[in-house]
Amino acid sequence: MRKVVLFIAQSLDGYIAKTNGNINFLENPQRDESIDHEYENLMANVDTVVMGRTTYDQVVNELMPDHYPYEQQQSYILTSHPTPEIADRHFVNEPVVELVEKLRREAGEGIWIIGGSSLIAPLVNANLIDSYIIAVLPTILGGGIPLFNEQTQERKMVLKSAKQINDIAYLKYEKKVTQ
């Protein structure tokens, strides 16, 4: 069965964006990309990306308007708005849990989850995320959009690694297997 990975950055106080959705705090001037290969390591092991429509719009309109960064992966964008298909981009209107369960059963490599808590919480609650890789940036926002919201149920994790690259702490957790 394919592995599901949440790879996401957050502020030191647990926010993935400011209240207005702005993510400019992610532009970390102290980051030396020549020694930070965490993103490349992730991309070498995933062939599918699942994201919400808000995240997709942010990627194609703000972050990378000239180049879609996930052209080598199959992208599934959850949306309630009908959208014409684009090569390797599938706009779907179905619950994220059903989509991820279906994708896990198909042949392939890892599945990367990108998005906010409305996408993440149902997957946490269904215990479908195998690995949580959280990059903690040295910024305190004081408020914003939290990584995990009040809909997220309590879940025990196992810390697999913690490492510092530049001034970013990368924490890797895996779901706790109960017997």
Reading across the β-sheet that carries 74-78, which strands appear in turn? Answer: 89-92, 74-78, 46-52, 110-114, 4-11, 131-137, 168-175, 157-165
Q: Can you give the pLDDT at residue 32?
A: 67
Can you tell me the distance from the alpha carbon of 103 to that of 130, in angstroms, rounded to the nearest whole number? 14
Task: State pTM to two decimals.
Answer: 0.91
* CATH number reported for the structural domain that contains residue 54 in this entry: 3.40.430.10
Can you tell me the distance from the alpha carbon of 29 to that of 83, in angstroms, rounded to the nearest whole number? 36
Is 53 inside a domain boundary? yes
Is 76 inside a domain boundary? yes
pLDDT(11) > 80? yes
Can you tell me the distance from the alpha carbon of 117 to that of 74, in angstroms, rounded to the nearest whole number? 22
The residues facing 4 across adjacent strands are 111
Is 131 inside a domain boundary? yes
Is 119 inside a domain boundary? yes
Q: Can you give the pLDDT at residue 35?
A: 84
Number of domains making up the chain: 1
Is 130 inside a domain boundary? yes
Range of the domain at 99: 36-167
Is 97 inside a domain boundary? yes
Query: Among candidates 156, 158, 78, 154, which has minimal Cα distance to 121?
Result: 154
Report pLDDT digits (tens) over 59-95. 998 888 899 999 999 999 999 987 887 888 999 999 9
Greatest alpha-carbon pair distance for the chain in Å reads 48
